[in-house]
Structure 1
């Protein structure tokens, strides 16, 4: 009896294709792994059998579509997350198509499952007074409070993604003036971000209190293990709730660690920093992403409007003076 190729193909996909041939980052591999964990368990429940008994022929486009619907309707995932999960599944079936030609039709059906368009909303950023209110919440007399205040200040200074900040090691920081930090973003892209003297002082003080090896994570929990993104979100929610007492507008916002990245971008735009500099600062691949923040800043729009020469209003427009607007249109 011929064994089903699914287990072997999955191993080859992750060990040979993803790691060796594509040289995918650790974060990408973990993301794809999590997608396949969810997908296989979902299909196993629908088929009424354990995961180990699933066959490749059962992983059809219909199952993929049902899985994507499950992500949004049951798990409450965003359209962006849904599309990322689909990308992981597509990648595998594209890999399978090159090794199992007889499954080409099945793979093509999965590859043709479309991504879903999501409405592009203006980022929900924090105002400067809201940022300061949140930063004032951690009790800096305690080690945990000092760590949290330093981490949040670092996020606001650099606009770093949360994982970029949690991966930070002391050797990536230049403490001498001018202070800066080396960050590693999506796709292993490297960038240099300037540091304010105040941020350098915070980082230096934290390292003095809790010395860390040069190549070890700087932000750790009470047991010395690197902080998790979920742990940061949990602590941040407590600080936001406390800060909302003094700044009520925070109660209306969904604040996450990524909100500090949005705040950094919008505040740089408001300060008049060129968008190409902001793009480099934040590590954006496309300038369109950076321009999104320029469109979101109402204060910048207001200042621009004030600079526009106001039309003279001594007389009404010519089309208002004309008795018949059609006569005016005929003159054009």
Structure 2
């Protein structure tokens, strides 16, 4: 780069070379960082009245970043988690610039001094078995589109897969119609290009087998009504549309991640240990999976509160009346 002050070349190197080639981060990470700067640059341009192509690195000041973060929460109604995610992208970019040009070390230190906000943990939302079954059966399986939607919902419930894992799934990732006692398996490509295998129920195997009949191994498993690979937005819209048709779910925000939580909670209720659930969902740390154990403890506490055996019993009298009239009254 000839001009080390211009922001554009730095961003190109950061998003196209550093993220992809050097760090080998996931495609979703690259897109998330891109979205952060897609929002940040127009905001700064408006504030300092300077086009985005003419912005310098030093134009991204701590004061403007704080204003941008406040804008995200107040004007765009973003959550604290989203605010922190955008800040993480900016701080990562600042660290990249300073590592290549020591002249920006002081600027980088000021940017990285901006702290993240402490966010209250979000309650884990999940569905009961009846609610999940009702959601899965909403699509009309008499039509090709309905069968594809039913298969996608059933697959999400069976595997607890992330949306990105489901949309990336190809026919070659499925191992179905295996002979003997071998379970059907699916290979999922998760975060950070981590690969894991997950067993499939018999009904999931049958549903997917019908769906992919006649397709090549390199073709996507789930196709939208336009016969193209499902997008993230398409999966979210499908889940929201089906949930709106279930009376008990209509007023609740149901997303594909709620289905992921539901899968984990039902596995826990079935007696599956936490470490197996961690591997099932593709969590790196067991601490991430522990949230489902806390849910289970809450369910046990509620069950104990409703249990009649836990209710206080009346004190027994010192002497019981064993007369015939007491016997008759007790019947």
Question: TM-score normalized by structure 1?
Answer: 0.86
1:186-217 Cα shifts (integer Å, max 9, x gaps): 11111111110100101001112xx4321222
Contact 2:91 2:112 in 1 (8 A): yes
**Bigger mean CA deviation after superposition, 49-58 or 87-96:** 49-58
Distance 1:126 1:54, change over 3 A: same
Of the candidates 213, 217, 225, which is equivalent to residue 214 of structure 1?
Answer: 217
1:77-92 paired onto structure 2 within 5 Å: 77-92=78-93
Distance 1:121 1:16, change over 3 A: closer
Where does structure 1 lack aligned partners over 5 or more consecutive residues? 316-332
For the residues of structure 2 that align with 1:35 and 1:199, how far apart are their CA atoms?
A: 38
Shift >6 Å, 4+ stretches? 304-307, 309-315
Q: Work out the number of aligned pairs and report it.
A: 308
1:15-74 Cα shifts (integer Å, max 9, x gaps): 332122111222211111111111111111222232112121111111211111112222
Structure 1 equivalent of residue 326 of structure 2: none
1:181 counterpart SS class: strand
1:1-332 paired onto structure 2 within 5 Å: 4-175=5-176, 176=178, 177-208=182-213, 211-244=214-247, 249-297=248-296, 298-302=298-302
Residue 301 of structure 1, CA deviation: 4.1
Contact 2:72 2:83 in 1 (8 A): yes
1:141-182 Cα shifts (integer Å, max 9, x gaps): 111111110000000000001111111111111102311111
For the residues of structure 2 that align with 1:310 and 1:146, how far apart are their CA atoms?
A: 48
Structure 2 equivalent of residue 321 of structure 1: none
For the residues of structure 1 that align with 2:216 and 2:45, how far apart are their CA atoms?
A: 45
Distance 1:4 1:202, change over 3 A: same
For the residues of structure 2 that align with 1:221 and 1:306, how far apart are their CA atoms?
A: 46
Distance 1:120 1:2, change over 3 A: closer
Contact 2:304 2:310 in 1 (8 A): no
Contact 1:182 1:190 in 2 (8 A): yes
For the residues of structure 1 that align with 2:161 and 2:28, how far apart are their CA atoms?
A: 16
Distance 1:305 1:174, change over 3 A: farther
Contact 2:165 2:190 in 1 (8 A): yes
Distance 1:120 1:227, change over 3 A: same
2:188 counterpart SS class: strand
Distance 1:109 1:226, change over 3 A: same
Contact 1:181 1:194 in 2 (8 A): yes
Contact 1:172 1:182 in 2 (8 A): yes
1:68-120 Cα shifts (integer Å, max 9, x gaps): 11122222222222222111111110011122222211111111111111111
Distance 1:15 1:125, change over 3 A: same
How large is the RMSD of aligned CA atoms in angstroms? 2.3
Where does structure 2 lack aligned partners over 5 or more consecutive residues? 316-331
Residue 2 of structure 1, CA deviation: 5.8
Contact 1:122 1:292 in 2 (8 A): no
Residue 306 of structure 1, CA deviation: 9.4
Distance 1:148 1:68, change over 3 A: same
1:124-143 Cα shifts (integer Å, max 9, x gaps): 11111111111111011111
**Bigger mean CA deviation after superposition, 112-121 or 150-159:** 112-121
Distance 1:133 1:306, change over 3 A: closer
Residue 300 of structure 1, CA deviation: 4.0
**Bigger mean CA deviation after superposition, 123-132 or 218-227:** 218-227
